[in-house]
Structure 1
């Protein structure tokens, strides 16, 4: 629509300028401009006006100087992330806010200066929950500060929380709940209600973003978010930066699939080399590869038989609603090995099964927890006689089969267009039936050379080599936890980094379970790897683990820390990571003469300085 001077309050020159500008604007830029003009009008009518701050420039081809916006359009985005999900979401959210004309301050919780908290007017928190209800590593210090007596009153704060978690864990989204509750206790007011996301978080995260944008636009006297803008906000959050992503995985060819364990080992550890050629997927050492697995065909067939269904019956795929055969849906699209409390609640309602409802009753929490941890969906339908529920109704309450993340064991500098992973097959027998790790057994048994796997790259900014290639590094990774350190050393070899390196590695038996032994020996010989200490727990009468080797070398390890070494830990979170942390604290006390409290502060400081990083699961 062209603007005419006769029907507008503009001069001829102004009208010509507007007619040249308006057709070039995107929808987001139009909304930004409307919000900006409304904010200026609001500021002009308010006395005294707040001190102006610089606005984020609109993404336009017209590079004009933009006047300052009122303080009410400032937004702080803080994220706490262990694997990178919240970090990625926070970056996309910040970009969206900037396009809407807000001045955005983006920071990880570990980098955030808490003395500025009281000055913040609008705070958006995106945080995952790690382990058994614990904050991720880069959120620990902020979580502790906020729950301490030093936390300030925050009556002037408006906030909202997006929490990521996994409903298969008892303390689902606990860290997000902690922040939400504590900010309210300190006097903050919610912009929008907290949203708790399961592993398939794209849709609820997009809805939260839309509501936050609407609330912020209203609070800053800006134009309302139009329907098209809200949709854009949702898609920008769930869309990846490149063509292939978590929501649009790349079909990658398997180049090699080898068993790393020797004959006679009771373990099977697969080394897979996967082609990324043609995908334009980029990664760095420390990142992870996401793989969408298939459920075991035997389990799928047994479930269909137990429920009395037909394998060819048509049901809807999750999210898309596409019609496909039941067997195909259960094989590739639905989670059937992990039980969660929300699933049991939904099935209890669907079936009106009194025994199942009773398991959810008050006083039976420990019994429910044990049941969920030790059984799968086939156990549930057999134990509670759920046969007869129509397949379409049953699968509608199942959650989408999530991707599994594996630490990348290669460097793109050493093996361009390839990604390597190290995966231990999980198999065991329970209640008269063989059980399988969904992805690990899929990779071990059915990912032959030449087959394809749906993959994506999961960036992990919290597990990265030091910027200084001369800085020493200490790597602690028993079992498959050694995978990212293979990537670290391959990368350092290619770049010619001169920093010292020390690897602590452990497994069960030297003869059969020494993963990548020849590569470590070559790197030791060439000087890429400076020291290596190993612990094979079943080769001695008394079990010896990596933390024991660390304590044996406490004096030298302490000296490395004093020289500025960065410490990396990868592997089991429940036991190993805690034991390694305790060993580090003991070394600081023994060699540095620190008290227990001072040692804890030392390690916390290392984490804040990104010199103590963990990739644990």
Structure 2
């Protein structure tokens, strides 16, 4: 290991050389261990001459439980952290790794492995697990006859490929000779109803599989665990709304809001690339319409899961009404005795079901297929209301104790009346001074380069531009020397150029070095950001070859796939590579942390 001369250090040359000898050849896990140990020594203010911690040495792979997660929005990470914490509390040696940090060469030696993985898009693994999944799926994957494993898949049953990533991993590990500790479980958005019993069973099976011949050693932590923040997903902060401003022009088909929230006194911190979780509430008019459609009393007390609340409060604050899910369609088909709905649930009608789930809300289903529900049955059948994540559009170094968001307000009229998105409507309809329940969702996969001299390429059409506003603010605040290139697209220049004045000023000030625009409806043929990428292919490839970091934010279903295809074409054309090698080039960038996506 070499230490750059420009890096300030309190160590002498002799000590730097000794440090280089100690760390030479250590893998990522060992380096993290070493950094934690050093932090623990620093916190005590003294460093002993010789160190021989008992019970704290890295266990052999056969004596530990490895927990690996692949997470797009943080849910899989939270579940994996719970499993790791419970394992440690039970006396197991546990290591917890994000999938892209897992040393693949060690897989052949693993004895107990638990995988928690989400599914995104059309059955795809999260970005941080792509390399892990590709390795397991490929010819280089070793036989794993010694491995005992368990898989928990997380997903959304509204999508046809529900928990497909977890299912594929589970089947592939079995093909490689591994033995299941317990059957795979698939969790819908109501994660805990499936995850909690799976965690309990997985831990019990892991303890049995790892049962040592002698009593487990007592493990002394090398450093105190960081205190949990006062506010998080289950204990959100009531943030004051400082500004709610529409930033699309008159005549635009889109209602995009710039939202500013105060985090003063919350203790919440975020980095550019993180998201803000917003706990929504269903619009009162929608709640009332559901009550009227089912002829139910909103004041009736309903007990569910040990909690008793009026039905109106359940529907307004605790249950999903704006997102329709397959399990509820199935339950309603039984209540309504609907042959039409039952046919829609058949395996060969997945596309039609997906269309219904994407276009209709709970109220639409109730009106199209009338049926009787009791208040208790309805609360039990509806999915729990979940927070919505929005990419943070600001840098704390620039805005202080605030978090800015760029929010597309979902509001439309269908054959049955007006419909809204739960969180976007809450944000858009709230007046300045209102309090909104929020928390920070870290996104370690979407970080600016540590080296401020690196160039960055940011591709963010529509509200996908949000994190890049924070990126540019951050880079200016820290005096980063690297260049910033933004590619932005939307339907019309005149009405949909989000943050136009800010970007133009950033160009003038030198905070933004290049801006390419794609307004798809301003000419006879549609032009998208992927078309601009192809137009600028030579320059883009040169930036990448010079070490630039590449970021994509926005729609996963179409935009992100089209952009990835364009990038592959650019690398093939300007790098003289085959399509397969170009894909490998992009995969390598991703593994190096130089190609990051925040897609939804």
* Alignment TM class, shorter chain as reference: 0.7 to 0.9
- Is 1:569 the counterpart of 2:561? The answer is no
CA distance in 2, matches of 1:67, 1:572: 45
- Is 1:508 the counterpart of 2:508? The answer is no
CA distance in 2, matches of 1:361, 1:543: 37
- What 5-or-longer segments of structure 2 have no aligned partner? 1-32, 45-51, 216-225
* SS of 1:396 mapped into structure 2: helix
- Confirm or deny: 8 A CA contact 2:258 2:407 kept in the other structure: yes
In the other structure, the counterpart of 1:8 is: none
Note closer, same or farther for the CA distance 1:280–1:207 as it changes in structure 2 (3 Å cut).
farther
* SS of 2:397 mapped into structure 1: coil
What are the residue-to-residue correspondences of 1:168-247 with 2, within 5 Å? 168-202=158-192, 204-221=194-211, 241-247=228-234
In the other structure, the counterpart of 1:307 is: 294
Deviation of residue 240 (structure 1)? 9.5
- Confirm or deny: 8 A CA contact 2:61 2:110 kept in the other structure: no
* SS of 1:414 mapped into structure 2: helix
CA distance in 2, matches of 1:153, 1:253: 55
In the other structure, the counterpart of 1:34 is: none
- Confirm or deny: 8 A CA contact 1:82 1:462 kept in the other structure: no
Q: Whose radius of gyration is greater, 1 or 2?
A: 1
In the other structure, the counterpart of 1:160 is: 150
CA distance in 1, matches of 2:274, 2:187: 22
In the other structure, the counterpart of 2:381 is: 397
* SS of 2:543 mapped into structure 1: helix
In the other structure, the counterpart of 1:371 is: 356
Deviation of residue 172 (structure 1)? 1.3
- Is 1:66 the counterpart of 2:50? The answer is no
* SS of 2:242 mapped into structure 1: strand
Question: Can you list the C-alpha shifts for 1:396-443, whole angstroms capped at 9, x where unaligned?
Answer: 111111111110001111122211100011223333433222221221
Deviation of residue 485 (structure 1)? 0.2
Query: Aligned pair count?
Result: 543
CA distance in 1, matches of 2:346, 2:74: 37
* SS of 2:454 mapped into structure 1: coil
* C-alpha RMSD over aligned residues: 2.7
TM-score normalized by structure 1? Answer: 0.83
In the other structure, the counterpart of 1:293 is: 280
- Confirm or deny: 8 A CA contact 2:159 2:354 kept in the other structure: no
- Is 1:284 the counterpart of 2:264? The answer is no
CA distance in 1, matches of 2:172, 2:227: 32
In the other structure, the counterpart of 1:142 is: 132
In the other structure, the counterpart of 1:12 is: none
Pick the aligned partner of 2:506 from 499, 505, 523. Answer: 523
What are the residue-to-residue correspondences of 1:475-514 with 2, within 5 Å? 475-514=458-497
Deviation of residue 615 (structure 1)? 0.5
Question: Can you list the C-alpha shifts for 1:119-157, whole angstroms capped at 9, x where unaligned?
Answer: 111111111101111111121222122122332221110
CA distance in 1, matches of 2:370, 2:534: 53
CA distance in 2, matches of 1:71, 1:117: 9
In the other structure, the counterpart of 1:421 is: 405
Pick the aligned partner of 2:578 from 586, 592, 595. Answer: 595
Pick the aligned partner of 2:75 from 81, 85, 105. Answer: 85
In the other structure, the counterpart of 2:427 is: 443
TM-score normalized by structure 2? Answer: 0.85
Tell me whether 330-339 or 122-131 shows the greater mean CA deviation: 330-339
Question: Can you list the C-alpha shifts for 1:518-573, whole angstroms capped at 9, x where unaligned?
Answer: 21122212212111111122222222211122222222111101100010000111
CA distance in 1, matches of 2:311, 2:91: 47
CA distance in 1, matches of 2:61, 2:99: 22
Deviation of residue 359 (structure 1)? 4.1
CA distance in 1, matches of 2:227, 2:157: 24
* SS of 1:541 mapped into structure 2: coil
Pick the aligned partner of 2:107 from 98, 109, 117. Answer: 117
CA distance in 1, matches of 2:230, 2:560: 36
- Confirm or deny: 8 A CA contact 1:285 1:484 kept in the other structure: yes
CA distance in 1, matches of 2:136, 2:247: 46
Note closer, same or farther for the CA distance 1:609–1:67 as it changes in structure 2 (3 Å cut).
closer
Pick the aligned partner of 2:324 from 322, 334, 339. Answer: 339
- Confirm or deny: 8 A CA contact 2:158 2:354 kept in the other structure: no
In the other structure, the counterpart of 1:556 is: 539
Deviation of residue 471 (structure 1)? 0.7
Pick the aligned partner of 1:274 from 253, 256, 261. Answer: 261
Deviation of residue 109 (structure 1)? 2.1
- Is 1:385 the counterpart of 2:384? The answer is no
Note closer, same or farther for the CA distance 1:198–1:240 as it changes in structure 2 (3 Å cut).
farther
* SS of 1:140 mapped into structure 2: helix
Deviation of residue 222 (structure 1)? 5.8
Deviation of residue 92 (structure 1)? 4.5
- Confirm or deny: 8 A CA contact 1:75 1:122 kept in the other structure: yes
- Confirm or deny: 8 A CA contact 1:271 1:421 kept in the other structure: yes
Deviation of residue 166 (structure 1)? 1.3
Note closer, same or farther for the CA distance 1:160–1:527 as it changes in structure 2 (3 Å cut).
same
